[in-house]
Structures are given as structure tokens and as C-alpha cells.
Amino acid sequence: MEKFVFSVITLLLILSSTAILPVVFSSDFDSEISVLVEKAGELYSKGLNITVVLGKLNRAIALYEEGDVEDANMLLSEVNSLIGDMRALADRVYLVNMVIKVVTILVLAVIPLAVYFLLPRIYLYVWYKTRRKWILSR
């Protein structure tokens, strides 16, 4: 009888530890996903296209939910390396985007000034060129 109780308790401990194991893996997986999503959000805020990263994260979550933990972890490591590569470009892309915005604002600010100063001169030049052969009679 004691052996039976001992074996039942041992079996229950083993089953409970295996039941807790996926929860531990799940929280680790969730935390890794949240860290990667946060990094991807930073890249997006700097102007990078992160659709590939989000697609791979989505696929990793789908694989994890299907029970393919190894492929999901492999895909997460691939996403992590992809985010690392994109981080190297993020500052340069942000700088280029800011320069483009500043140049656009400057061009739009100069257009009214150019029209104000150049339009009368151009109009007078064209008027003079078209009417200079006119002869005035008395």
C-alpha cells in the first residue's frame, strides 16, 4: 500500500512539473516576443519598414501555438538578428528622412518669395520683349 501511495504521489509530482513546464516556456516565449516587438516599434518610429519582421514574428507565434517550439525559437533568433541588422541602419535612415523633411520645408518656404520677387521681373521682361518693335506714331 505504501508503495502504491508513493508511486501515485511521484506520478502526480511528475505530471504537475510537466504541466508547469509549458507555462514557464510560454512566459519566456511571451517575454521574448514582447522585447522583439518593442525593438521593432523603435525601428518603426525611426522610419524603417518592419513588415518583414512583423511577418516573421507572426509566423513564430503561429508555430509556437501549433506546438513547434524549436522552429518558433529559431525564427525568433532570426528576427533578433534581423532587428540587429536594421538597428545599424536606423540612425542613418532617420537622418536622411529628417534632411528630406527640412529640404521640403525650405523649398516650400522659398516658392512664395521667389514668386513675389521674380514674377514682376519676368512679366516686365516678357512685356518689353513683345512690344519693343512697336512704333509710336504722332
Domain residue spans of the chain: 2-101
What pLDDT does residue 23 have? Answer: 41
Q: Of 76, 4, 70, nearest to 40 (Cα)?
A: 76
pLDDT digits (tens, 9 = 90+) for 67-107: 888 999 999 999 999 999 999 888 899 999 999 999 999 99
Using the structure block, give the residue that is written with the C-alpha cell 534632411. Answer: 99
Q: What is the DSSP code string of 69-114?
A: HHHHHHHHHHHHHHHHHHHHHHHHHHHHHHHHHHHHHHHHHHHHHH
Q: How far apart are CA 84 and CA 111, in angstroms?
A: 42
What pLDDT does residue 115 have? Answer: 92
Q: How far apart are CA 24 and CA 26, in angstroms?
A: 5
What pLDDT does residue 29 have? Answer: 86
Using 50, 70 and 90 to split pLDDT, how confident is the model at 133? confident
- Res. 50: pLDDT tops 80: yes
pLDDT digits (tens, 9 = 90+) for 1-35: 666 555 656 655 665 555 444 444 567 888 999 89
What pLDDT does residue 131 have? Answer: 84
